[in-house]
Amino acid sequence: MNHNQRNPVLLVHGLYNTVNKFNTMTNYLTNLGWSVHSFNLQPNNGDGHLDILAEQVNHYINNNFEPNQPLDLIGFSMGGIITRYYLQRLGGIDRVHRYISISAPNNGTLTAYALSRPGIKQMRPNSQFLQDLNKDIHETLSHLNITIIWTPYDLMIFPAHSSKINLGTEIKIPVFSHEWMVRDTRLLNILSQSLSQSVTMVKN
């Protein structure tokens, strides 16, 4: 199989977002020749457990792509944790060639203490959910082509360096707002470069 082809790209949004969050990104990548997909997570307000939302990602992929169709996956904010669960626990690692995480609370965020909704509680630092997901992150994701993008000025993911997971390529962009990340021209340029990288798939 040629791993240098342009795979379909699936975008997974964050808390309170819809597919409209990705309008700029979708148009940018589509104009460059990618087939871009996204869908609305239900619910998107933290009332749903993240592992259940990850099942929606799995369901969308299984129902919209052929079984042998490789994908590239981009997760923003809460969507970064949901996509990690899909990769690490639902077999997504066998389908995804390139994974890009944008401003995700990979090690939790203190802002998740503001609300006690189930999915938001799972994003608190040292939550049982994140502890379980992080305990084998290197074993499950180390062979994947990964790009981690974050901003030191993030006030939604706090502390901002919580987005780092010490895997793949880490890129820090000085964007002054969490919400602006998905529209930043520097980030969009990084996406096109990351999605164009050749991939060597190594399976255990």
Do the beta carbons of residue 168 and residue 142 sit within 8 Å?
no
- The residue type of 142 is S
Local structure of residue 171 (DSSP, 8 states): E
List per-residue pLDDT tens for the chain, 204 residues long.
344 579 999 999 999 999 999 999 999 999 999 999 999 999 999 999 999 999 999 999 999 999 999 999 999 999 999 999 999 999 999 999 999 999 999 999 999 999 999 999 999 999 999 999 999 999 999 989 999 999 999 999 999 999 999 999 999 999 999 999 999 999 999 999 999 998 865 444
| DSSP H/E element including 97 | strand 96-102
State the pLDDT at residue 118.
Answer: 97
pTM score above 0.85: yes
